[in-house]
Amino acid sequence: MAFRYPNGKKFTPNRNVNKQKDVKKDARFSNRGMTLEEDINTTNEYYLAHNIAVIHKKPTPLQIVNVHYPSRSAAVVTEAYFQKPSTTDYNGVYEGKYIDFEAKETKNKTSFPFKNFHDHQIDHMKRVLEQGGFAFALLRFTLTDEVYFLEAEHLIRFYDERDQERKSIRKKDIETYGHLIPLSFQPRIDYLSILKTLL
C-alpha cells in the first residue's frame, strides 16, 4: 500500500529490523522492545478501563485513492495520501480539563533533536494553551528507557529560542524543567500522576 504526503512525496516506513538470536532477557529490560506509542496506548486503555480519563490517539487524516478488492468480504487500500499534517498525537479529557500532547523518542543520550517537532505541532500547542487547555510532550530517551513529561510552555520556549547552532534541547534542561516518569507495570507510563500535580 502506498501512502503519500500532501506534497505528493511517497511515504516509506523504516524497514530496518534488528534480529537477535536466543538472547536471555534481563527482567529489568523486558519492555524495551515496546515503542513509546505502544506504552502510551496501553496506559490510556488502563486509564479508560479504570474510569480515570478518556484519552485517545488521534487518527492520521488520509485520502484513499486506490482500493483493491481481493474478495467480496475484503478490501485492501493500495494507495492513499496524507491529507494534511496532523497536529499532536493524543488528546482527551482528564478531571474536566482538555489535554493534548505529543510523544517522541530519540536514541540520543544527551539531547533531544528539534527536528522531531514541526512548526504546526508547536503552533497547535500554543493554541491549546490559549484556550485554557493543557499541552505537553512525553519524551523518551530509548537507550536509557527514561520518559520525561515536559510542559508545552517549556517546549515552546526552547523551540522558539533555537538557532543555527542549537539543534536540540539538552537533556540536562529536560531534567531541570521536565519531570521523570517512573515506569511501572500498570499503568506503564503513568503520566497523569505528573499532570495531577500541575493542574
What are the pLDDT digits (tens) for 169-183?
Answer: 999 999 999 999 998
- pLDDT greater at residue 65 or residue 140: 140
Are 101 and 137 in contact by the 8 Å Cβ rule? The answer is yes
pLDDT, mean over the chain? 81
pLDDT tens-digit readout, 3-30:
665 656 666 665 554 444 443 433 333 3
Least confident among 34-38, 71-75, 107-111: 71-75
First to last CA, the chain: 43
State residue 20's pLDDT score.
43
Least confident among 39-43, 96-100, 159-163, 171-175: 159-163
Residue 59: count other Cβ atoms within 10 Å of its Cβ. Answer: 7
List helix spans (H) across the chain: 36-49, 119-130, 152-160, 171-177, 191-198
Closest by CA to 136, choosing from 121, 155, 117, 118, is 155
**Gyration radius (Cα) of the chain, Å:** 19
> What's the rounded Cα separation, in Å, for the pair 1 and 82?
13
- Phi and psi angles of residue 24, each rounded to the nearest 5 degrees, phi first: -70, 135
> What's the rounded Cα separation, in Å, for the pair 44 and 57?
9
Please give the DSSP secondary-structure letter assigned to residue 189.
Answer: B
pLDDT tens-digit readout, 119-133:
889 999 999 999 999
Helix (H, G, I), strand (E, B) or coil at 99: strand
| Domains held by the chain: number | 1
Give the domain extent around 25. Answer: 2-198
Query: What is the CATH number for 127?
Result: 3.40.1350.10
- What confidence category does residue 87 fall into, taking pLDDT thresholds of 50, 70 and 90? confident
pTM of the entire predicted model: 0.72
Q: Does 76 have pLDDT greater than 80? A: no
Over range 64-93, report the average pLDDT.
71
- pLDDT greater at residue 92 or residue 163: 92
Over range 44-49, report the average pLDDT.
96
